[in-house]
Chain A
């Protein structure tokens, strides 16, 4: 019996259903939520995920959920006629979301730097790592962006975008400093979005190097991201 998890928007609300879930209190699980009728993925039924698919559904709150039989499983995606929330995974908070994103970006930059080294572009590799860990990384990332201007589809330019987005920047508006009250994305939103983009960049690099198909590499990277998060949150299954 695989453990099941569910991300919800703040207030224990389903993102698409807008259904407010009954939450556990005093050690007692939340009430059962049941759905009548045939189970149909994305249409009808209680949806949840296993620990291997966390990153596909990142949102503000993470809950462990118990599903009622029969539980249909499709590659880590779970569907059941009933569910109840068991406990909130408190470890998933803004700090964790930031740490997750930071990890994704670190991994992707290392992979990209190694990829550059392998083809003899040592200087580019150094410029890339400096944009992340160098003493004047703000300036470095802009230089990086400028260096690869002529190759606008370059994964490195993409990485420069992501690095700046992580810091609250707007890559399409290079001269605008991020405004504090601009209503920009939350750490959860950034984690969801940029985690995806990092996997995309990694897969692009693999494809460029003919080191596997984009699809395989992308899914592999997402799996790896989910595993990191599951470990970090001490989740099982």
Chain B
């Protein structure tokens, strides 16, 4: 049986498929019967959801214009 500390250390391995079948089974058996680990797992899940729902803000217009300008210059020099 894994300890809570191991759950804390191994959650990403679990999610990313880095554990063996036997390890997965031990991982799940622990989480099921352990309230603080369940809480921890749900917290990490929500954290990932929030990250996934976010996105970087668009480029500042000056920067975008400047880069497009570089493209136009490049294009002119080529053609």
Cα(A58)–Cα(B24), bound, Å: 18
Check A57 for interface membership: any CB of B closer than 8 A.
yes
Given contacts A18-B45, A189-B38, contact A43 B32 (CB under 8 A): no
Which residue from B28, B34, B38, B45 sits with its C-beta under 8 Å from A42? B28
Number of interface residues, chain A, beta carbon within 8 A: 19
Contacts of B28 in A (CB 8 A): 16, 42
Q: List 6 A-B contacts (CB under 8 A).
A: A16-B28, A40-B21, A42-B25, A43-B17, A58-B32, A189-B38
Contacts of B17 in A (CB 8 A): 43
- Chain A nearest CB, measured from B63 CB (Å): 39
Check A15 for interface membership: any CB of B closer than 8 A.
yes
CB <8 Å contact, A189 and B21: no
Check B56 for interface membership: any CB of A closer than 8 A.
no
Which residue from A40, A57, A190 sits with its C-beta under 8 Å from B32? A57
CB <8 Å contact, A41 and B31: no
CB <8 Å contact, B35 and A43: no
CB <8 Å contact, A193 and B21: no
How many A-B residue pairs have C-beta atoms within 8 angstroms? Tell me: 37
Which chain B residue shows the least CB distance to A191?
B33
Check B29 for interface membership: any CB of A closer than 8 A.
yes
Interface of B is mostly: helix
**Which residues of B in the span 10-45 have a Cβ within 8 Å of any Cβ on A?**
17, 21, 24-25, 28-29, 31-35, 38, 45
Cα(A153)–Cα(B32), bound, Å: 24
Check A161 for interface membership: any CB of B closer than 8 A.
no
Check A101 for interface membership: any CB of B closer than 8 A.
no
Check A158 for interface membership: any CB of B closer than 8 A.
no
Check A59 for interface membership: any CB of B closer than 8 A.
yes
Contact code string B33-67 (vs A, CB < 8 Å = 1, else 0): 11100100000010000000000000000000000
CB <8 Å contact, A58 and B33: yes
Which chain B residue shows the least CB distance to A196?
B33
Contacts of B29 in A (CB 8 A): 56
